[in-house]
Structure 1
Amino acid sequence: GILETLFNRLGLEADFEPAEELGLLPSRTAKVMLDGRQVGVLGDIHPQVKVNFDLVSESISLFEIWLDELVSSVERVRLYRPLPRFPGVARDLALLADEALPAKRIKELIQGFPQVRRVELFDVYQGERIPPGKKSLTFSVLYQSPERTLTDEEVSQLQQQILEKLEKELGVVLRR
């Protein structure tokens, strides 16, 4: 959401790693990482904190970014990147994974396919209709070839290969 947009505009690629922070739900908290350095934290406010401060909203999230760390990561000069000659095809993948599996591992596996241009995690959900010990992760995947426009059938085959590899190597399946 907001953080991904911020990092994208700054030309940065952030990773999110599970974390525990006082006042935040342990299962819904992450460190914000850039090049292996922590530059912030995000998470959901712990229910007890909400009670202590008379906060009635169902879910309250926060993020903290350390600007000094962020600024040192931003490139002063941006390199020109030409626009691709052929259009990409965007598809969303809603996946079901073990709660303890970092989203970064799933993202890296998907990015390992040569015709995958970009992978973005845009939703993580645990709760109703998700089995205990599991989480739902939804990724937006952009498929693109530098040589030609990919057909719908080619993208479907590529996506099927990705799903098979996710299940075989990480135990991750398509959410139904």
Structure 2
Amino acid sequence: MLIIEKPPRQSNTDSRSLTILFKKHKTTVLLMLQPHESLDFAKERLLDALQSREITNINGDVLPDDSCDIEFGEPVDRADPQKGWKRIQADAPEIDTEDVPKRNKGKSPKNSATIMEAGLQNGHSIAFRFHKSSEGQNGGLDMDLDGEDPGWDVVMPVYEDEPEERG
């Protein structure tokens, strides 16, 4: 299934926007995002896109009510996504409070990394999954020691020529 989210008619497409392919099982959602937008915002947009298509589950995994229950992963090797996926750290880099303008003092800075800080570029494929209630207290799944996480459900299309039948 392929879902494409179109921008509203009155909006103008920004040439700086990136097209990111979010993948789960055989579902791919294409979203246009700005490099300065947070990963948390991308999760909200992804959930909105799925809900707008009235999708309730993907391969048996129930769609969450909150975008906080979505987790992103990137390929271990971008040249070969079949090698597996690793979790994208959504936390923003530490901010030195001395560099924060005075008007922002006392307010908590956004704690989600931006698309750019996560190293995502135009056309990148990103895996997504939903947190389950049986997960650990930290709300996330633990990765194995090799950095690969066996919990990602992504089916990448394979383009192979079929052998010709001789008759």
Tell me the TM-score normalized by structure 1: 0.23
Tell me the TM-score normalized by structure 2: 0.24
* Structure possessing the higher relative contact order (Cα contacts under 8 Å, 6 or more residues apart): 2
Structure ranking higher in strand proportion = 1
Structure ranking higher in helix proportion = 1
